[in-house]
Amino acid sequence: MRRYLIALAVALLALSVGATQTVAAPSAVAAKKCKKKKAKKKKCKKKRKKQQTGPQGPTGQTGPQGSGTPGTPGTPAAVKATLAQVPDFTTAAGGPLFIHNQDNTTVTQTGDGIAFGPYADGGAAGGSVEYTGLNGQPLSAVQSLVYLARYTSDGDTAGVGSPYLRIFLEGDDHDAIFSPNTQPDADVAEGPFHTWAATSGVWRYDDDAGAGGEYGPNGAPFSDVVDDHGAETISGIYVSVGFSAGMNLAALLREWEVNGTNYSFSS
């Protein structure tokens, strides 16, 4: 009997432990699931918090418009006109440019430019190209005169044989002359092309020979000549070669700019 009671007690104890384990197992799983669910909920809450956009701030005010001084307008680009755009270039009757004195066959139009000479005696012969586009206007209408040319001779003329520019005034009674060889730091080497900005140089007045007229043998700045003679009427503007110096003197005029219009004589 005693052995039976002991066996029964052991059986009851085993049943009690199993029941505890059976109850405990689901509780642990549920706790674990709940823990995971809470963590996920916390993560989602954190994510939503991160994604939320804060309230929009007040709109900024536009500052006052700048009131600085406007810049100076740029200089317009020079217009380039080829011989095809200069009507009747070789006839005295048409166009702003023509070869002066058509019976002078020593001045000719070539593919490289306007050719002068050669003049066996550059002191006794020569030729010119004339611009008539400012005829009838005052000398003060001249803003810029620039020309590109080269010259050669047998020997060295020290610049005296270089192409020069003249503005005739008052029906050719007066003239103002730009000579490359009388300029400060004169650029007059024979052979290469030179760009002579005449209106930036010094000029003589009624003194082609350079004997020392109103402004001395070398001349005065173009602005001084305009101050003194600006009201005088233009009757022709010339680029000339010869009647100066040099044996077998020859020259080539490739470009001539007058008040921003650049005439190109090369094809």
* Partners of residue 204 on adjacent β-strands: 177
- Whether the pLDDT of residue 75 is over 70: the answer is no
What does the alpha-carbon distance between residue 254 and residue 238 come to, in Å, rounded to a whole number?
A: 14
* Partners of residue 116 on adjacent β-strands: 107, 251
- φ/ψ (deg, to 5) at 52: -65, 135
- Whether the pLDDT of residue 59 is over 70: the answer is no
| pLDDT for residue 244 | 95
- In this structure, of 54-63, 159-168, 217-226, the range with the lowest mean pLDDT score is 54-63
Q: Kindly give, in sequence order, each residue whose CB lies less than 8 Å from that of residue 74, ignoring residues fewer than 6 positions away.
A: none
Contact 107, 129 (CB under 8 A): yes
- In this structure, of 36-50, 96-110, 136-150, the range with the lowest mean pLDDT score is 36-50
Contact 194, 148 (CB under 8 A): yes
In the chain, the domains with their CATH numbers are 85-264 (2.60.120)
| pLDDT for residue 54 | 56
What does the alpha-carbon distance between residue 224 and residue 230 come to, in Å, rounded to a whole number?
A: 9
Q: Kindly give, in sequence order, each residue whose CB lies less than 8 Å from that of residue 122, ignoring residues fewer than 6 positions away.
A: 153, 157, 161, 241, 242, 243, 244, 245, 246, 247, 248, 249
Share of the chain above pLDDT 90, in %: 49
What is the pLDDT of the chain when averaged over all its residues?
77
Contact 126, 241 (CB under 8 A): yes
Q: Is the model more confident about 107 or about 142?
A: 142
CB neighbourhood size of 83 (10 A): 19
- Cα dihedral value 86, 88, 92, 95, nearest 10: -30
Instruction: Give the E-state strand segments of 94-233 in sequence order.
Output: 97-99, 107-110, 113-121, 126-131, 145-154, 164-169, 174-178, 194-197, 202-205, 220-221
Quick: pLDDT tens for 178-206: 999 999 999 999 999 999 999 999 999 99
- φ/ψ (deg, to 5) at 4: -65, -45
- Whether the pLDDT of residue 111 is over 70: the answer is yes
Quick: pLDDT tens for 87-105: 445 444 456 777 665 556 7
Half-sphere exposure of 210 (CA within 13 A, CB side): 12
Query: Within the chain, how many helices (H) and strands (E) appear?
Result: 2, 14
- Whether the pLDDT of residue 114 is over 70: the answer is yes
Contact 239, 163 (CB under 8 A): yes
Share of the chain above pLDDT 70, in %: 61
